[in-house]
Structure 1
Amino acid sequence: MYIKRILLIVLLAGLLAGGVFAYKVYDAIFSPNTSFNNEVAYLYIPSDADFIEVKELVAPLLKDVGSFSQVAERKGYVSNVKAGKYAIKRGMNNNEIINSLRSNNIPIKVAFNNQETLADLAGRISAQIEADSLALYKSFSDEGFLKSNKLDKATSLTMYIPNSYEFFWNTSATEFRDRMLKEYRRFWNEDRLKKAKALNLSPHEVSTLAAIVHKETAKVDERPKVAGLYLNRLKRGMLLQADPTVIYALKKHTGNFDTIIKRVLYKDLELDSPYNTYKYGGLPPGPITMPDISAIDAVLNPEKHDYLYMVANVDDFGYHKFAETAAQHNRNKVQYIQWINAQKIKR
């Protein structure tokens, strides 16, 4: 009888211990383990991160890091860390958190436009994905890549079509560049290629002219008219005489693309640069900025007219006054010069 009591006590103690253990296991796996008040928090895990780094990154979001580590080890996550952007929702338990970190890499939207150089583009992209600006710039300017895709440093910017794209945060520099090449080829579909051919322009030349149109006017509805004007000048063999190209030439000459130039001076027109369209005929070697899609399509779908000259319209800011003759243009220009002098804009 005494032995039976002892066995019963041992059995009950074992059951109690097992129950406590089971509860602790259950609690570690299935009890909520977040410590933030927002609905969701995001975790960015670098490509070279190990579990120790993940634990440091996730610790501020958890009530109990120890239980998280235990569950991570049981589920094999400790040796299978994956880079990316992950969401941890308020009230998640360790099991749900680990499952999210294992398989729910969240795509992000990467957007860019209006970059003047590859370095600018690299900086813009590095602020949105894991790859740093140096790695991106090296990838963008890789001579082997450029040559194999019939590009050079002057035309390389044409490959990047401004838009919003979906990427994983841990996309590498090379992966980003190669994806942009695919998007470029998709953009230049049969319809756009046909229109470019009708203008006797290559896609690179279309983008180069579109960059000038983009810089000349921010008014999307005016861009087809401006495009038509420059195409008229090209057909007649006239110099484009586009002020934005001179500004770009000045920036490139000084190496300072952060310079703000509001007024082109007569002495600037003498700068010896292939980008100076007051001095050299035809199109510049490449785009002076990254043109919007609206500017590219404006060149491909230009307004048909006989205008050859334009000047800023001080009565309707943002737009221009157009002229078919130099005499008419000079009359329009007088009003603009009077206005700009009144503003005391010297540079």
Structure 2
Amino acid sequence: MSNENKNEKRDKIRQKMIERQSEAKLVRKIVLIIAIIFIITVGAAVGGGYFYIKSAIQPVDPNNNKDQQVEIPIGSSSTSIGKILEENGIIKDARVFKYYVKLKNETGFMAGEYALKPSMTIPEIISSLKTGTINEELVFKITIPEGKQLLQIAGIIAEKANKNADEVIEKLNDQAFIESLMKKYPNLLTESILDENILYPLEGYLFPATYSYYKEDPTIEEIITPMIDKTVNVVNEYQIAMEEKELTVHELLTMASLIEEEATEKVDRDKIASVFYNRMATGMPLQTDPTVLYAQGEHKEKVLYKDLEIDSPYNTYKYPGLTPGPIANAGVSSIEAALVPDESDFFYFLATSSGEVLFSKTLDEHNQKKAQHIK
């Protein structure tokens, strides 16, 4: 190859390198420009969001101390309370209020008619709603203990609210009423409560707690709405655990109710839960006496062998797995036991007359304890 050709080739290579370097510089400039635009955009969004939220939690009008009458209905959630406050000009943004309440884990809001000011901060508003700074007087309270069944709860409601027990039960089982509640609480009250084997659709869904009422004659819906709202709030705290355990809300409340009905003050609910899960894992029936009594619709101190023959899907001596639905309401401790049971090899447990619960790995061991403690 002649020197002339070599030089020509070198010139072409040099030219291509120059072109590539120019292209690389251009690409770097474009990437840099895009990066700068992205950073500015994100920064503006974050900054704008920060200033928006900061503004939203400030008083609507710091100089307006005029009382605004605001009614918070019984059973209102933080979402509905936020909307009411925004509509009445007490806060700037209902969504910010909702997330502020969740972030601060604020609960215990009371129903009633409040005198609130546009000059109040969100913490002041929350404090007022929690401490009961209202214009209405407390009329009555209803306390629903843990482990109560729907018929018992209906009796408590009738007594405290001065209503007819039969009318309360009829309302709690009314198909149209149930369907209206399902529309209101779609994530809690699912189609599972309408299963043909379910005795009472709302069984297990009225959370055990004390509820305050400020009307002389509230409707049944106004009475039970706070109870269902409470169940929603409790269940929502365990969404991740439910997903990990692969339990639906209905299954969770059903398992928790079985644990609740078998538990005593002295028992470790986690161990009872482990027995139930161990049995289900091996296909063994749960064989828990409270389900037999629930199927019979009566309360007895002792379950007899003839009672075990009742043909009901709630009879866990005849049918394996969970009952069609809860057999009572369950407290937080039983719900948590259903989600995080103890890791054990137990398949049997026995409650003694003193309230102690004895756990066994084998049937022989169980029968020995039974002979020793059950007379």
TM-score normalised by structure 1 residue count = 0.59
Contact between 1:113 and 1:291, CA under 8 Å: does it hold in 2?
no
- Against the structure 1 CA distance between its residues 155 and 225, is the aligned structure 2 distance closer, same or farther, given a 3 Å change threshold? farther
| 2:371 alignment partner in structure 1 | 334
Contact between 2:288 and 2:317, CA under 8 Å: does it hold in 1?
yes
Structure 2 letter corresponding to 1:318: G
Match of 1:111 among 143, 152, 157: 143
In 2, the alpha carbon distance for the partners of 1:119 and 1:331 equals 37
In 2, the alpha carbon distance for the partners of 1:234 and 1:199 equals 14
| 1:219 alignment partner in structure 2 | 265
| 1:192 alignment partner in structure 2 | 238
Match of 1:284 among 319, 323, 328: 323
Q: What are the superposed Cα offsets for residues 44-73 of structure 1, whole Å, 9 maximum, x if unpaired?
A: xxxxxxxxxxxxxxxxxxxxxxxxxxxxxx
Contact between 1:245 and 1:276, CA under 8 Å: does it hold in 2?
yes
1:231 aligns with 2:277: yes
Q: What are the superposed Cα offsets for residues 257-313 of structure 1, whole Å, 9 maximum, x if unpaired?
A: 3x4x22222222222111111100111112222223322222123222111111124
**Residue 169 of structure 1: CA displacement?**
4.1
Contact between 1:206 and 1:296, CA under 8 Å: does it hold in 2?
yes
In 1, the alpha carbon distance for the partners of 2:348 and 2:317 equals 13
SS at match of 2:317: coil
Structure 1 letter corresponding to 2:230: E
TM-score normalised by structure 2 residue count = 0.55
1:144 aligns with 2:176: yes
**Residue 168 of structure 1: CA displacement?**
1.5
**Residue 217 of structure 1: CA displacement?**
2.1
- Against the structure 1 CA distance between its residues 200 and 127, is the aligned structure 2 distance closer, same or farther, given a 3 Å change threshold? same
| 2:308 alignment partner in structure 1 | 269
Contact between 2:147 and 2:260, CA under 8 Å: does it hold in 1?
no
1:311 aligns with 2:311: no
Match of 1:174 among 194, 199, 221: 221
- Aligned 1:288-299 pairs, distance under 5 A: 288-299=327-338
- Aligned 1:17-96 pairs, distance under 5 A: none
Structure 1 letter corresponding to 2:342: E
Contact between 1:207 and 1:287, CA under 8 Å: does it hold in 2?
yes
**Residue 115 of structure 1: CA displacement?**
6.3
| 1:129 alignment partner in structure 2 | 161
SS at match of 1:284: coil
In 2, the alpha carbon distance for the partners of 1:227 and 1:128 equals 34
SS at match of 1:109: strand
In 1, the alpha carbon distance for the partners of 2:201 and 2:140 equals 28
Contact between 2:267 and 2:356, CA under 8 Å: does it hold in 1?
no
Contact between 2:242 and 2:339, CA under 8 Å: does it hold in 1?
yes
SS at match of 1:188: helix
**Residue 242 of structure 1: CA displacement?**
0.7
SS at match of 1:282: coil
| 1:324 alignment partner in structure 2 | 361
| 1:10 alignment partner in structure 2 | none
**Residue 116 of structure 1: CA displacement?**
4.9
| 1:38 alignment partner in structure 2 | none
SS at match of 2:330: coil
Q: Which runs of 5+ in 2 are unaligned?
A: 1-111, 113-134, 183-188
**Residue 220 of structure 1: CA displacement?**
5.9
Contact between 2:205 and 2:329, CA under 8 Å: does it hold in 1?
no
Q: Which runs of 5+ in 1 are unaligned?
A: 1-83, 85-102, 341-347
In 1, the alpha carbon distance for the partners of 2:282 and 2:310 equals 24
Contact between 2:178 and 2:201, CA under 8 Å: does it hold in 1?
no
SS at match of 2:307: helix
- Against the structure 1 CA distance between its residues 330 and 117, is the aligned structure 2 distance closer, same or farther, given a 3 Å change threshold? closer
Q: What are the superposed Cα offsets for residues 129-155 of structure 1, whole Å, 9 maximum, x if unpaired?
A: 255434433332221342433233544
In 2, the alpha carbon distance for the partners of 1:309 and 1:176 equals 40
Contact between 2:203 and 2:327, CA under 8 Å: does it hold in 1?
no
**Residue 225 of structure 1: CA displacement?**
1.2
Superposed structure 1 runs of 4+ greater than 6 Å apart: none
